Amino acid sequence: MDVKIKSMKYDDFKDNEALEQLRAAGTNIIMGSLDKLIDWGRSNSLWPLTFATSCCGIEYMAVGAARYDFSRFGFEVTRASPRQADFIMVAGTIVHKMAPVLKRLYDQMAEPKYVIAMGACAISGGPFKDSYHVVKGVDTIIPVDVYMPGCPPRPEALLYALMQLQRKVKVEKFFGGVNRKEKRTK
């Protein structure tokens, strides 16, 4: 059986190079090295908050299990308390009743904190965009760092998104200047 799969050509797949250019400007050698050390440590131990509202959450669990195993990249320490977590993976639809809860969880997290919007629902409301009770994108409530399309995204996509977050963390400067402004809610 030959099934035609429409997909992107690999050559067309361009990674976003802009992030690393932030680094290219150069920093003080001592501070820069210290930054690198800290970023290296932080980017490899990003702890997610256990937060899953619906279908996407199951794929998220699957990535936590043995086959995909995100502990290879340091993401396995899921925290049940927002105060100990580094990022929220918004896995699933966010509805009106949940919106204040999500906002509160985000506010309770300690800086620096990140948000990944997993799946069409978290990005824009997805298949439920026309519903009376669904929030049309979590970025209307909290700032989002990485968007991960799919319904649900495949585990590979999830790992890729996590690595994009790592890239973001890796270019942060703690000592030598600022390239990451304090986040503001829209």
Partner 1 sequence: MININDKCIKDKILSVAPDAAFDEAAIFTVTVPAEQYHRLAHCLRYDADMRFDYLLCMTGMDWGDALGVVNLLESTTHDQSLFLKTAVTDRENPEIPSVADIWETAILNEREVFDYFGIRFTGHPDMRRIFLRNDWVGYPLRKDYNADEALNPVRLANEELIDTTTVYEAVAGGKTEAHTRTVFEEGEYVVNIGPQHPATHGVLHFRVSLEGETVKKVDVNCGYIHRGIEKMCESLTYPQALGYTDRLDYLGAHQNRHALCMCIEEALGLEIPDRVKVIRTIMDELQRLSSHLLFWSCLCMDLGALTAFFYGFRDREKVLNMMEETTGGRLIQSYNVIGGVMNDIHPDLIKRIKEFIKYLPPMLKEYRDVFTGNVIAQQRMKDIGVLAKEMAVAFGVTGPSGRASGWACDVRKRKPYAAYDKVQFKEAVRTEGDSFARYLVRIEEIEQSLYILEQLADNIPAGDYAVKTKPVIKLPEGRFFKSVEASRGEFGVYIESRGDKNPYRIKFRSPCLPLVDVVDTLARGGKIADLIAIGGTLDYVVPDIDR
Residues in contact with ligand SF4 by CB under 6 A are: 54-56, 92-93, 119-121, 126-127, 151-152
* Residue 119 contact, options partner 1, ligand SF4, none, Cβ 5-8 Å cut-off depending on partner type: ligand SF4
The least distance separating ligand SF4 from the CB of residue 128, rounded to whole angstroms, comes to: 7
Q: What is the DSSP string of the chain?
A: ---------GGG-----HHHHHHHT---HHHHHHHHHHHHHHHT-PPEE--B-SHHHHHHHHHHSTTT-GGGGT----BSSGGG-SEEEEES--BTTTHHHHHHHHHHSPSS-EEEEEHHHHHH-GGGTT-TTB-S-GGGTS--SEEE-SSSPPHHHHHHHHHHHHHHHHT--SSS---SPPP---
In this chain, which of 31, 34, 38, 55 binds partner 1, going by CB under 8 A? 55
Residue from 43, 57, 113, 147 that binds partner 1 (CB under 8 A)?
57
Tell me which of 118, 123, 135, 169 binds partner 1, using CB under 8 A: 135
| In the complex, least distance from residue 23 CB atom to partner 1, rounded to whole angstroms | 36
Nearest to 173 by CA among 51, 60, 9, 30: 30
Does 48 engage in binding with partner 1 (CB under 8 A)? no
Nearer to partner 1, 152 or 164 (CB): 152
Query: Of these partners, ligand SF4, partner 1, none, which one is at the site of residue 27 (CB under 5 to 8 Å by kind)?
Result: none
Binding mask 77-106 for partner 1 (x = CB under 8 A): ---x-----------xx-xxxxxxx-xxx-
Under rule CB under 8 A, residue 3 binds partner 1: yes
